Every structure is written in structure tokens, then in C-alpha cells.
A and B are shown apart, each in its own frame.
Chain A
Amino acid sequence: MTMDNALERRPNPDDLNDRGLSETQDERVSYLRAGHTLRSWLLTTDHKRIAILYLISVTLFFFIGGAAAALVRADLLTPQADLLTNEGYNRAFTLHGVIMVWFFLIPSIPNTFGNFLIPLMIGARDLAFPRLNLLSWYIYMLGGLFTVFVLIAGGVDTGWTFYTPLSSMFSNGHVVMVAVAVFVVGFSSILTGLNFIVTVHKLRAPGMSWGRLRLFVWAHYATSLILVLATPVLSVTLALVAAERLFGLGIFDPKLGGDPLLFQHLFWFYSHPAVYIMVLPALGVVSELVAASARKPVFGYRFIAGSSIAIAIIGFLVWGHHMFVAGQSMYASAVFSFLSLAVAVPSGIKVYNWTATLYKGHIELDPPFFFAASFIGLFVVGGLTGLVLAMLAVDVHLHDTYFVVAHFHYIMVGGTVSAYFGALHFWWPKMSGRIYPRIWGRLAAIFIFLGFNLTFFPQFILGYLGMPRRYHVYDPSFQVLHVLSSAGASILGVAYLMPFTYLFWSMRYGAPAGPNPWDVRGLEWTVPSPPPKHNFEEIPVVTGPPYDYPLEREGDQGEAGDAAEGNAAEGNAGSRA
């Protein structure tokens, strides 16, 4: 395998402590070594370095949000209010939601892996606006640090949904400050979205037609459209909440002549599309992981590419499914219910397409495959329970219960976070230049999957039994299920920490990866690992479709297995100049 060849290139493969000597030629000229000062990182305009900045900061916020979750789960071990006060509990889950949604889930995959990979996948040397890209990171950090500051100053207790008039007139937390932080980070989303859109339009390599874009790029293109179109609505809504709170302008509070449901319409007009901001990039990642694991063209490429765009558009038309019992008209609810059920169908078909991609593939059970498979399993459960919630009579029962909590965690944590870790494991050798021990990757994936299900599956049952969400004090008869859930959460917490040990280990002791350690197709696997500062020595000319793995046609059954081994090793022949 290529990995072993790469190992041979190490000057002194046995001396693991001799880092300098073990540095490969590729590493010496890579983006990682292009400048060693802090300044060279903080003022970089290289999309790959900015991706690393995001990787570090986004992961940091994931752990801050995770700490808040740990507090919430620890408190829920008992039905009484013991660990936290009622107020403290409300602040803890609000902090968890705000940080996870705006400072982890939304930027997670696009700003790290999108940033790193889009130029490499379309054959470009950088994004269209490298300086804007850096600015976007600074805005993100500004918003993030401001949130941490508010946390130290006492926090907020409205929930991440900021429903009025609770948030605008009644809550006594720092609502305005958090609204400012989310407002600020919105600009980071908008700038990144714009940058991706222009990049995909303008910087594709010769021959890289739209029909040859990788599905990862299609998914990010669709996501960028939502980022640019939906985020301003959230910004305006939060500004209105702040205006009502600070100046008593009557917008949402009926006592001032406002309408509280107006807030919900505006908020979900942003936030339902925002859930697709969180999940579309993950769908893109999984399409890549599945094709790479099976070493086969993705089944139904056109359908998957088109459905990303379709989901982005229809996603704007279903926000009312969050308001079935809020007092919206029955006819509006019926329409929103129907559209929500309809939008699920393309997502469902993607799952069937991935399964079909595995059929007759050459499947390697590497960590990326484990993460992709757990993504698919959890996403299916999350999506189907979304259908449960979209059915009107059932949602009347389940709205605002733990069932909803379980549903969206299956999609956003089971789905997006699994894809985030899957992407990290798949592209880590490309980003760092080193290989990590695969067995640890597989174990981490398995522990994450088990811990996740133990944490969140009991919540479906809690919800159907009627336990409302955002409850600090609860009926003792629910305790068993809560204890199971907290036990699962502790497994999950440890499992999420595992990759950091062996990935750090690999940076020093891992074997050099070589350009294509997984033996897969794609432009990013044609450049050295880690890539040089300007990605491509010569801009590649693309001559073939993506995922051009050989397909055995009827008649050559006999040598099927070996033929593929041989072909795959040649790398991405079709897209080389």
C-alpha cells in the first residue's frame, strides 16, 4: 500500500523522536511550514491555514458547549433541583444551545473542511477573496469571545430560540449582549457564504464543469446560498428584539401593541433553513466518504447534487412546522405539514443512493467508513422522527417535549457531528501529512455511536410519555430514563475526546501519509500531503467525471477484485493534465 512506500521515504523511520530528520520533503515545502511565527498564522490569507484556525476555534467552542451540556446532564440525574438552581439550569441549557448552534454547528464543516477543500477540489489556488476569508474568522472570534464574556458576566436564560415577549420584556439575563454576539457572528457566515459562491463560479479549473464538481462542493454551494439569504433575517430579528428591550418599541409584546407570533415567524424563517446549513455540508461529506470507502462512483450523482439545491430552496417554505400549536391557522398548518413531509423525500432518497453506492463496491472498513455508516444510521432515525413531528395530530402531543430534543440531536449531533469527525478522519492525513492508527479511529467511531444512542434514544421515550423539554425539576417516574441518558452522555464525552489523543500523537509519530493514503480519486489527493502553499504547481485540466473509479461491466466477473486493486492505485488519472 502507498502508506508503506511513504514510510520508506522517511530518512530514519525508526527514530521516532527525531522529528526534524523525519520531516519529509513534502512537509518542508508545505503550507504548514510556510512561516513559523504566530503572526504568520494570524495574518495568513492561505485558505488552508484559515481552515486550521477555524478547526482549532470551532473545536474549542464544541468543548465549551459540551461542558454546558455535561452540567445539564449531571443535573438531570435527579428529579429535584439540587446541583443547579432553576435559574442556573436555564442559563446552562441556553448557553449550550447558543454556542452549539452558532459557534459550532453552523461554522463547523463549511468553515474548516469547506475552506480547506473547496479550492483543492475545484483546482484553484485559494478562495476568491482570501482577505475576506481571514476577516470572516476574526468576526467569528469576536462574536465567540463576546459570548464567552457574557457567560462570565452571568449569561442568559431565554433558550437559544429567544421567544418573545419572554426575551424582550421579561427575562432578566443579558439578552441584548447575546443578541449582539449572534448578530456579529452572522456576518462571518454571510462573508463565508459569499466567498464560496464566487469561488465556485469563478475559480473552477479548466474542464471542471458544473457536472464534474464533487458532491461536497455542490453541498457547500447550496449551503452558501442559504447562508447569504437567511442570515440577514436573523440579524434583523435580533435587532428588533434588542430595540424592544432597550427602547420599548412595540414590535413583539402585545402590551405595547406588538405581536409575539411575528417573532416566531421571523425566527423560524431563518432557523429552519439554518438546520439545513448545519446538515447539507454533512450530507456532502458523507457522499464523499461513501464513494471513497466503496471506491465506486456515487450512485445517482445528478440526483444528489440537484437535491441539495432543492432542499435549500424548499427548506425556506416549511418554517411553520415549528408553530403548529402556537395559534397559527389550521390551513397554514396543513400546508406546512405537507411541505415538510415532501421535503423529507429527497433526503430519504439520498440514503437509498448511498446504500446503492456500496453495492458491488470495494469497501475498506477504515475509520471514515465507520463514521459515514453511523451518520447514515443516525440521520435515518433523525429524519424519520422529523416526519413524525411533521404529522399534525402527533406534533400536538410531541411539540416541546423530549421527543423533539431527541429528533434534532439525532440529526445535528448524530448526523453533523459524526460527519465532522468523519471528515476529520478522512482528510486528516491530507491536512497534517501523517497517518493515525486506524484501529483507534474505528474504536472512536464505535464508542461515539454507542454513547450517542444511549444518550438520546431514551429521550424519544421520555418525549412520547409526555416529559416537556427545558425541565429542570421533573416527575420522579422519569428518572430511570434520565439516568440512562446521562450515562450515555458520559460515554459520548469520553469518546469525543479520544480522537484528540491519537490525532495529536500522529502529528509527531504517525507515518507520513503520501499524497493518496486511501487510494481514492479526487483532485485533492493528487497534491502532496500536506499540500504546498499554493496547492497546485500547475493548475490541473480536468478531463473526466468525478469519482471515475472503474466499474466492472458484465463479462469481467472473474478478475473483478484484482482489477480494481490495480486500477485504484493509479490515482486520479482522469483529472490530471
Chain B
Amino acid sequence: MENLAGWASEASAHAASVDRLMLAFTLMMVALSVPVFVLMAVFAVKYRRGRTANRAHPVNRNVWLEVSWAIVPFLLTVVFFVWATKLFADLYDPPADAIAIDVVAKQWMWKFQHPGGQREINELHVPAGEPVKLTMASEDVIHSLYIPALRLKQDVVPGRYTSMWFTADRPGTYKLTCAEFCGVDHSVMGGSFIVMTPAAYERWLGQSQVDDTLAAAGAVLFRERGCSGCHGPGATVHAPPLTGLYGRPVPLEGGGVVTADDQYIRDSILLPQSQIAAGYPHIMPTFQNVLSEEEVLQLVAYIKSLRSGSPEGMRQ
């Protein structure tokens, strides 16, 4: 039974908050339901057929009683709604300085890429006390990354990026599983979530075999896959420069403006015809079925790294 710690311990402050909420709600459930059970039993005995009891009914209904058993539970649930929604809203608000780790799910394994280029399968190492943001993509069907000790899960949906962030603060080894049914080996698509002290995490990063940082791997792809032929300096076709693109508003052909976030860059590479940057020809080919989700994530990391002023990717 001690293995349950990998599932049930509270590895973050958020996990502790969820447990507190659950405890308070359980108390409310008991308060609302136990009277029903007790009264039913009491009435069944007291008003058994044939038994003499006072069965006289007042002529007027007790309106206040009826109104109060509608209003009181309702108000109580509203309190819990506000509490739970507040905690949930925090999950949509990652700190800007969170460590960005990429996750790619496929039948039936989890792949992780750290910003420095370290990669792992079915294991995720993170430093304690530092916010971490996962950007997740699926190669095939829907999966769901579930870390019970954080009380967090998020579906990983093909065709889009989803994300999840947390600050784990208790070093230890916890469970990491797939929660969305994804086919034959769904139940074995899991592994470990390892929270380390920041120093140990640094050591772990240093020991892991690395070819390149994510952005550098993306830069290589950018050349090899021919992106630079159109987007690079000295290109002959009319294609938008990608420097400083990340986070900027992009006017689209046919009106409308979108912010260039991870999802937009991904769609530009895989589904270029869905959103065309205003003023450019429709010549960008699709890289669907050419690039894997991991490679796309590397390209995204590279394009994100192209801040204004850096030389690569400039044209004209």
C-alpha cells in the first residue's frame, strides 16, 4: 500500500487546495444527505401502517420550509462553484517565466523534450519550486496526460496544441498516466513524474545526452526542409520574414488579425492554406505527413527564438 504515495500525495500547492475543496464539499454532502437517510428510517418506523401515531396535518402548507430546502442547497453550491472556478482559472494563467517543456503523445508512449534539447520517454523530470509549462501534441488519437499527485490532467488532442502548467514543490517520484482511452495498450501508457531539487535537476540535465538545444535542432530543420529557401535571407520568392513573428499580431488575408502563438505557427506549417498572411501569395506547401509533431515543435522553438535583431530568417 505504501506505493499509493506515488498517486495520492500532494506534490504541489494546487493539489493541496483541491483536496481542501473536496474535503469541504464532502462535509456539505454529508450535511445535506444524512438528514434524508435518517428521516426516511425514522418515518418508516414511526409511521408504519397500523401503528398509532400523530398523523394530523396542519391545514396550511409550510411554504418557508419548501423554499428553504430549495434555496439553501442552491446557495451552498454557488459558494462551491465560485471556489472551484477560481482554482480552475489559475490553471489558465501560466507565469511568463515558466520552463517550457514539449510533450508528444502517440500510441502508446509519452515523449518529452526539454528546452535544452534533453529528451526522455515515459519519464518527466522537473525541478521543484519552479513553474513548468507543458505544450502538448498528439501524433494520432486523443490521449490525456494525467499526474494524480498534481491533481491535474489535460487531454492531448491531435491537430492542436494544448497546455498545462504547474509548480511541483515536493521532490519525489510520482505516477504519470494516460487518462483518455486511446486503444489497445491504453492502460500501460504511463510512467514516472520525477520532481528533483533544482540542483539535482541541473545535474540531470547535464548528464543527459544532448545533440542540440530545441531551437538549434529547429534551425537545422529550417535549412534542411527548405524553409530558408523562401523565408531565409536572399530568398527569391515573396514570403514573410519570421523574425520577431512570435507574439506579434498578424493581419490575415480576407480580414481579421491573429496573434502569432504556438498554435498559429504550427498551423502555418501544417495547414498553410487555412490562414494566409495578408499580402502574400498562396505558395507555402503543407508539411503535413512530412514533419513529425516533435519536429514541428522544434521549428516552433526556433521561430520563437528569432527575436528582432537576430540575423537568421531576415530577408531583403
**Chain A nearest CB, measured from B268 CB (Å):** 15
Decide: A260 and B179 in contact? CB cutoff 8 A: no
Given contacts A166-B181, A400-B180, A470-B181, contact A355 B39 (CB under 8 A): yes
Interface range, A side: 35 or more
Given contacts A325-B155, A355-B43, A358-B43, contact A472 B187 (CB under 8 A): yes
Q: Which of B157-165, B214-222, B251-259 contacts A (4 or more CB under 8 A)?
A: B157-165
Decide: B152 and A396 in contact? CB cutoff 8 A: yes
Decide: B33 and A391 in contact? CB cutoff 8 A: no
Residues on A with C-beta less than 8 A from B70 are 345, 349
Determine whether A399 belongs to the interface, using a CB cutoff of 8 Å to chain B.
yes
Given contacts A345-B77, A393-B84, contact A465 B148 (CB under 8 A): yes
Decide: A400 and B179 in contact? CB cutoff 8 A: yes
Decide: A396 and B91 in contact? CB cutoff 8 A: yes
Decide: A358 and B44 in contact? CB cutoff 8 A: yes
Decide: B58 and A255 in contact? CB cutoff 8 A: no
Given contacts A326-B157, A330-B92, contact A391 B49 (CB under 8 A): no
Closest partner residue, chain B, to A254 (CB atom): B159
Decide: B81 and A337 in contact? CB cutoff 8 A: yes
Determine whether B290 belongs to the interface, using a CB cutoff of 8 Å to chain A.
no
Determine whether B146 belongs to the interface, using a CB cutoff of 8 Å to chain A.
yes
Determine whether B199 belongs to the interface, using a CB cutoff of 8 Å to chain A.
no
**Chain B nearest CB, measured from A577 CB (Å):** 29
Determine whether B8 belongs to the interface, using a CB cutoff of 8 Å to chain A.
yes
**Chain B nearest CB, measured from A299 CB (Å):** 9
| Interface members, chain B 247-284 (any A CB < 8 Å) | 271
Decide: B73 and A345 in contact? CB cutoff 8 A: yes
Residues on B with C-beta less than 8 A from A475 are 3, 6-7, 175
The interface bits of chain A over 464-485 (1 if a CB of B lies within 8 angstroms of the residue's CB, else 0) are 1111111111111100100000
Closest partner residue, chain B, to A565 (CB atom): B50
The count of chain B contact residues (Cβ–Cβ below 8 Å) is 86
Determine whether B291 belongs to the interface, using a CB cutoff of 8 Å to chain A.
no
The interface bits of chain B over 83-110 (1 if a CB of A lies within 8 angstroms of the residue's CB, else 0) are 1111111011000000000000001000
Determine whether A208 belongs to the interface, using a CB cutoff of 8 Å to chain B.
no
Decide: B184 and A397 in contact? CB cutoff 8 A: no
Decide: B7 and A466 in contact? CB cutoff 8 A: yes
Closest partner residue, chain B, to A261 (CB atom): B157
The interface bits of chain A over 302-334 (1 if a CB of B lies within 8 angstroms of the residue's CB, else 0) are 010000000000000000000011110010011
Q: B40 touches which one: A348, A358, A388, A391 (CB < 8 A)?
A: A358
Determine whether B153 belongs to the interface, using a CB cutoff of 8 Å to chain A.
yes
| Interface members, chain A 534-561 (any B CB < 8 Å) | 551-557, 560-561
| Interface members, chain B 142-199 (any A CB < 8 Å) | 142, 144, 146, 148-149, 151-155, 157-160, 162, 175, 177-188
The interface bits of chain B over 24-56 (1 if a CB of A lies within 8 angstroms of the residue's CB, else 0) are 010001001100110110011001111111111
The interface bits of chain A over 347-377 (1 if a CB of B lies within 8 angstroms of the residue's CB, else 0) are 0110110010011111111000100010011
In angstroms, Cα B159 to Cα A161, docked, is 20
Residues on A with C-beta less than 8 A from B52 are 560-561
In angstroms, Cα B30 to Cα A460, docked, is 15
In angstroms, Cα B79 to Cα A341, docked, is 11
Residues on A with C-beta less than 8 A from B25 are 387-388, 391, 394
Given contacts A295-B49, A345-B74, contact A477 B177 (CB under 8 A): no
Decide: A394 and B84 in contact? CB cutoff 8 A: yes
Closest partner residue, chain B, to A257 (CB atom): B271
Decide: B187 and A397 in contact? CB cutoff 8 A: no
Q: A300-B66, A471-B187 are in contact. List 7 more A-B contacts (CB 8 A).
A: A352-B36, A397-B151, A397-B152, A551-B57, A556-B56, A561-B50, A561-B53
